[in-house]
Amino acid sequence: MVLMIERQLASLHHPLLLLLQML
């Protein structure tokens, strides 16, 4: 279950990091 949560967080963090880099 933890692995699934980590994957979900990673999938959310990638676009967030890209947006932060653009800002």
Is the alpha carbon torsion for 7, 12, 15, 17 positive or negative? negative
Question: What three-state secondary structure class fits 2?
Answer: helix
What pLDDT is stored for residue 14 in this prediction? 76
3-state DSSP percent of the chain in helix, strand and coil, to 5: 90, 0, 10
- For the question of whether the overall pTM of this predicted structure is more than 0.85, the answer is no
Rounded CA-CA distance 12/17 in Å is 9
pLDDT digits (tens, 9 = 90+) for 1-23: 788 878 887 777 778 778 888 87
Backbone angles phi, psi at 3, to 5 degrees: -60, -40
